[in-house]
Structure formats: structure tokens, C-alpha cells
Amino acid sequence: MEKLPCETIVWESLPAIRAAIAVEMVRCGLSQKMVAATLNMAPSAVSQYLSGKRGYKIDFSDEVSQAIAALAKDLISGDINDPRDKICRICMLIRGGDSVCSACNYQNVSATGTQIPD
């Protein structure tokens, strides 16, 4: 049986996105401990992302890389506290679509309940 789209997202895309965000935040000068606190993950997860032991490596397009860098900067500056909507948008860029995955519970609604523009 073929993998469901949500399986690919959970096992490949999301770990790669989280790893890239963590790497970018450390590159911008944050400690691994601060990155872990900001992303609500264990410091050991950040360490494993940085060492390449965790987070499937995906070669991101320039557009995806720029979106990840922008998200990391927004998190560092405190411009956003909840990165879920932006992570969903990055995931959509990776999949090459402009709509939320049919398996995703968001269905064009953000974590705050507001409509996400298409």
C-alpha cells in the first residue's frame, strides 16, 4: 500500500522543516537551549537536528529556504509566537500546492480560528 500524504508529511516534511528552522535559529546566534524553548522541543532534539541524526534531509527550493529563514527570524524577534500557520504554508510550498492538505485538520483555518487566505 502506498503511503498516505499525511504519512509523508509527518515522517519526512515536518521533521525536515523543524530541523531547518532550528539550524537557522542557531545560525542567527541563538543557543540550542533557547531554540528548544522557542520551538517547544527538547534540547536533545535540537542537538540531533544540528548533527543530522534527526530530521530527514530534504533539498529545499530557494522559496522554501527563504520562508524558513523568515520564520526563524520572526520567531527570534518575537514577531510571532505560534509558528503553526507558517509551517503549514511551508509544507504546502514543499508539496507544490496552494491548498491545505486534505488530511490536515486546519482546512484553511488558522489555530486562532481565522480564515487563511488562499
pLDDT of residue 38: 94
pLDDT at 114 over 80: no
Alpha-carbon distances, residue 6 vs 2, 43, 47, 104 (angstroms): 12, 26, 26, 8
pLDDT of residue 54: 86
pLDDT at 23 over 90: yes
The pLDDT confidence band at residue 32, using thresholds 50, 70 and 90, is: very high
DSSP-derived secondary structure letter, 31: -
Q: At which residue does the C-alpha cell 509523508 appear?
A: 8
Cβ(46)–Cβ(32) under 8 Å?
A: yes
Task: Tell me the pLDDT tens digit for each residue of 84-93.
Answer: 999 999 998 9
Task: Tell me the pLDDT tens digit for each residue of 54-70.
Answer: 887 788 999 999 999 99
Alpha-carbon distances, residue 27 vs 30, 72, 77, 102 (angstroms): 7, 10, 14, 34
Question: Where in the chain are the domains?
Answer: 5-95
Cβ(32)–Cβ(47) under 8 Å?
A: yes
